[in-house]
Structure 1
Amino acid sequence: MSFSLRGYTPPDFTALNTAPEAVLQGAPKDGVAPAGFHAMSIFPEYFHIEGQWRLAKESRMDCVAVWENGEIAVREFRRLKAGDLVVLGRTERGEEGIFVHGTGFHEPGQHQDLFAFRQGRSRETAFSRDYDELYELLRYEKDHGKIVWVMGPAFSFDSDARSAFARLIAGGYVHAVLAGNALATHDLEAAYLNTALGQNIYTQQSQPNGHYNHLDTINAVRYHGSVAAFLREERIDNGIIHACETHHVPYVLAGSIRDDGPLPPVYGDVYQAQDAMRDQVRDATTVICMATTLHTIATGNMTPSYRVLSDGTVRQVYFYCVDISEFTVNKLSDRGSLSAKGIVTNAQDFIVNLRKGLGL
């Protein structure tokens, strides 16, 4: 099976040659959009301005379009400055100079009955074909794209899962990691004390006073001043974070209210964390979210369904959600990330299977 990107079919604007220009209005004050603003989606969106249909090159759902320096900038409300020229309009088919193109990556479909069983994706779905497609996609993206992984702490609880993901990092299949304090804490705990949340990562047996282990780990990292110094001084030679540091893969740790410590690199300011996550997502071409509901939804909401490459080519962004809970997989679609593909399985088994399928 050889992989090739799905082609993009741009809109046919000949039928919209009489469409009006998009209406622009200055933001009334910093952080506030004018009434009637247009909110962005995950799809390619074009705006009729100064006689041309212009594509927003870097998009994000629930943000606004700003006409600036001859281009469409997509901006969070908190980043608006008074006077920014914001696009107004609530229609999507050209009536107000706005065209939302939701079918650009559709392939000619095979015949499908209107009524058919098992069209959704659930624990009953056979995902073997998804694995085959994912192997080929990752091999392609390793050299031609950017693969961003969004991870919950489940991977740090099992030695095989930690090892499998570390091999993916070493093999070049990981270009950035988005996670929270817990993943990094328990991964470092596993490397430091062979436990995660006090349980042995090989036997799953709780250790005496094991509930101190993650706190001792955090305290040791804070003592050394950085994760890199901790790894060096404590001679840590395994795990997910060790692999990221060794292979210079950036990782963003977004903090939460319940964090212990936290580790030094954790972002305590939610908007700084959001900015750091978006910096990694803005040029991602494949995103794989595993075993974390909130980080998955957060990343899904800032990931469009397309990317405009440096040569102007529009390509698809592939988005996977892997979770043992159907709720998480379905919730992502409910929140607007309609292009996400769900795989309902144990995320630890998923990553081990992925490692084997890639021959690592």
Structure 2
Amino acid sequence: MTVARTVELQGHIIDSGMMQRCFGVVMDMGGAFEVEEFDVGRHKDEETYCRMTVSADAEEDLVGILHELHQNGATLADPRDATLKPAPADQVVPDAFYSTTNHPTEVRVDGEWVSVDRIEMDCAVVVDPGEGDEPTTARTKVLNAIDEGDLVVVGETGIRVKPPERPRDASGPFGFMQGGVSSERPSESLIRQVAEALAETKERGGKVLVVAGPAVIHSGAGDALARLVREGYVDMLSAGNGFATHDIERNLYGTSLGMDMETMEHPRKGHKHHIYTISEVIRAGGIAEAVDEGLITEGVMYECIESGVDYVLAGSIRDDGPLPDTITDAVEAQNAIREQAHEADLVVMLSTLLHSVAVGNCLPSTTRVVCVDINPATVTQLLDRGSSQAIGMVTDVGTFVPSLADQVLGSEACGGAEERSEAGE
């Protein structure tokens, strides 16, 4: 016996590929569809509407198809309220709870659609009905943050997902972010457009998050990143113990991971410089204290302290030391990263797979992302995690970051920095 449900697609569903993906899902999963209504938007400001009946041989098969359609933005034609069940205990969700995507999401409560706040992937949705005149709200919660009694959305009834659609033209700073990953695309023009996006974000009061790996320091790009921090183009920094250690090591010893940054040689005992660096910072009590003492006088971490830039150093099992500022509790580090991610309007990921994945897991799909790495597999893996507002650049960060700083700040800014340096001397 055949079972069927009617679904709707609406928006720029043709040029964004949504309609093609939904047709493919039904056929690939052994179902069938019949288009009942199809109104094509003929101008770039007009939306397209498609209503179709989806059928399968068994209810279980249809549920699986509807799940995949739902993830791609299709909604049931006869929406019902979401099913809510209380969490039976702290950190325990009800069976069959709804696991979020990173796309903008709404849940239907008492006949009204409620936007889900702080959307990110792989979370539960908790609904607060409000009391008295207070409105109903919904937000995501990671599983270890669930409290007993939280009203958790179960199943996929009464949920509406809205995947971001590809821009219909190439206008605006992020119109270029449609081309995927390629090492053959003209880097200079892309860097210029990233610089425009960075400047535009700051002009409208947005926040920029930089996710940086030790390669930024090893490649000699630390000075350029420090300039961007100093001139106010970086609001938050997410990195690991290694990045901060080698940034400070360069200031104290002129080396990064034991290599002289000027001569590219390995001085005697250079391999010990990073652990000496950690020891000195521990003795001072932390990075800010080391800056106050005059121990640290330049570099990215120095500029973060001087400019009041929020930074999160998330630790790992392989860290030496670590620095006092490094968060060694994994859950605490995740929560700190999550706060940064939800505040960010533009994220620039620089040669760090693990920290970029950690940040990417917390980002809504609407957050603009630039990912730069010399390894194309790294860039592809990061962009495949779900951001539709992203560009990948396969290039050396040692070239990218200085070029970006030059594009953003220009020769005038460089001269201004030199004048400030001379005045300080």
- Normalised TM-score (structure 1): 0.86
Instruction: Name stretches of at least 5 consecutive residues in structure 1 with no aligned partner.
Output: 1-7, 91-95, 111-117, 307-316
- Which amino acid letter does the alignment assign opposite residue 72 of structure 1? A
Indicate the residue corresponding to 2:292 in structure 1: 232
Q: Does 1:175 align with 2:235?
A: yes
| Secondary structure of residue in 1 paired with 2:117 | coil
- Distance in 1 of aligned mates of 2:48 and 2:334: 32
Contact 1:47 1:97 in 2 (8 A): yes
- Distance in 2 of aligned mates of 1:283 and 1:11: 33
Q: CA deviation at 1:133?
A: 2.1
Q: CA deviation at 1:22?
A: 0.8
- Distance in 2 of aligned mates of 1:216 and 1:145: 38
Indicate the residue corresponding to 1:268 in structure 2: 328
- Which amino acid letter does the alignment assign opposite residue 385 of structure 2? R
Contact 1:11 1:101 in 2 (8 A): no
Contact 1:156 1:196 in 2 (8 A): yes
Contact 1:185 1:217 in 2 (8 A): yes
| Secondary structure of residue in 1 paired with 2:182 | coil
Match of 2:194 among 131, 134, 137: 134
Q: CA deviation at 1:338?
A: 4.6
Match of 1:75 among 133, 136, 141: 141
Q: CA deviation at 1:236?
A: 2.8
- Which amino acid letter does the alignment assign opposite residue 65 of structure 1? V
Q: Does 1:156 align with 2:217?
A: yes
Indicate the residue corresponding to 1:147 in structure 2: 208
Indicate the residue corresponding to 2:369 in structure 1: 319
Q: CA deviation at 1:319?
A: 0.9
Q: Pick 1 or 2: higher relative contact order, CA cutoff 8 A, min separation 6.
A: 1
Indicate the residue corresponding to 1:97 in structure 2: 158
- Distance in 2 of aligned mates of 1:156 and 1:249: 18
Q: CA deviation at 1:108?
A: 2.1
Gap change, CA 1:343 and 1:215, over 3 Å in 2: same
Runs of 4+ in 1 over 4 A off after TM superposition: 8-12, 14-17
- Distance in 1 of aligned mates of 2:46 and 2:372: 29
| Residues 207-246 of structure 1 aligned to structure 2 (within 5 Å) | 207-246=267-306
Deviations 1:152-185 (A, max 9, x none): 00122244x1111111011111000000000000
| Residues 243-254 of structure 1 aligned to structure 2 (within 5 Å) | 243-254=303-314
- Distance in 2 of aligned mates of 1:176 and 1:169: 9
Q: CA deviation at 1:305?
A: 2.1
Indicate the residue corresponding to 1:185 in structure 2: 245
- Normalised TM-score (structure 2): 0.73
Q: CA deviation at 1:26?
A: 1.1
- Which amino acid letter does the alignment assign opposite residue 89 of structure 2? K
Indicate the residue corresponding to 2:5 in structure 1: none
- Which amino acid letter does the alignment assign opposite residue 258 of structure 1? R
Q: CA deviation at 1:344?
A: 0.8
Q: Does 1:278 align with 2:338?
A: yes
Match of 1:39 among 99, 106, 126: 99
Q: Does 1:293 align with 2:359?
A: no
Gap change, CA 1:10 and 1:243, over 3 Å in 2: farther
- Which amino acid letter does the alignment assign opposite residue 206 of structure 1? H
| Secondary structure of residue in 1 paired with 2:107 | strand
Gap change, CA 1:11 and 1:298, over 3 Å in 2: farther
Indicate the residue corresponding to 1:114 in structure 2: none
| Max Rg structure | 2
- Distance in 2 of aligned mates of 1:234 and 1:109: 51
Q: Percent identity?
A: 36
Contact 1:158 1:202 in 2 (8 A): no
- Which amino acid letter does the alignment assign opposite residue 236 of structure 2? A
Indicate the residue corresponding to 1:347 in structure 2: 397
Q: Does 1:88 align with 2:154?
A: yes
Gap change, CA 1:123 and 1:179, over 3 Å in 2: same
Q: CA deviation at 1:106?
A: 2.9
- Distance in 2 of aligned mates of 1:245 and 1:149: 15
